[in-house]
Amino acid sequence: MKTAYLPWRSAGAALALALCASATWAQAGGLKGAPAAFTAECTSCHIGYAPALAGEASWRGIMAGLDKHFGVDASMDEKAHQTITAWLVAHAAKGSRYAKPSADFRISTSAWFVRQHDEVGSKVWKRASIKSAANCGACHSGAARGDFDEDRVKIPQ
């Protein structure tokens, strides 16, 4: 049996895929369901980075090096460590582009981050209002909630 080509089928499938991907990103990108240990331990020093901002290997690497966490000893008790690691890994970004972490496990130096921010010039990162690529909240007002929607980005002067 020969099947007729229906152009609306392709467009409909593409739209459905885009909507699902968008919904999945929004759900994965948020901090809903974060364990209390994550809030207590991680957000006491910086924003709570959404697990979907890095892959499993990155989160495992970050959690394995908490005694020297970007120049600070962020060690925690074993129960909190296990709880946070399990949550981060379970909600980590999936896919080949997240499989290989950056050498220093920084989200801001990962290939994905660099691609997402390729239009941001090096001088922008150095502005007093931004300071560094790690200061997500400077441009993403919803960063603390895990909201990094491109449509709400405002780059300060």
Q: How many Å apart are CA 90 and CA 63, to the nearest integer?
A: 14
Residue 53 confidence (pLDDT) = 87
Domain residue limits, the chain: 33-105, 117-157
Q: How many Å apart are CA 117 and CA 123, to the nearest integer?
A: 13
33-105 maps to CATH 2.60.40: no
Total residues belonging to the chain = 157
Q: What pTM, to 2 d.p., does this model score? A: 0.73
How does 111-150 read in b/e, with b if 16+ C-beta sit within 10 Å? ebbeeeeeeeeeebbeeeebeebbbbebbbeebeebebee
- Residue 54, amino acid: A
Write out pLDDT tens, residues 69-99: 999 999 999 999 999 999 999 999 998 877 7
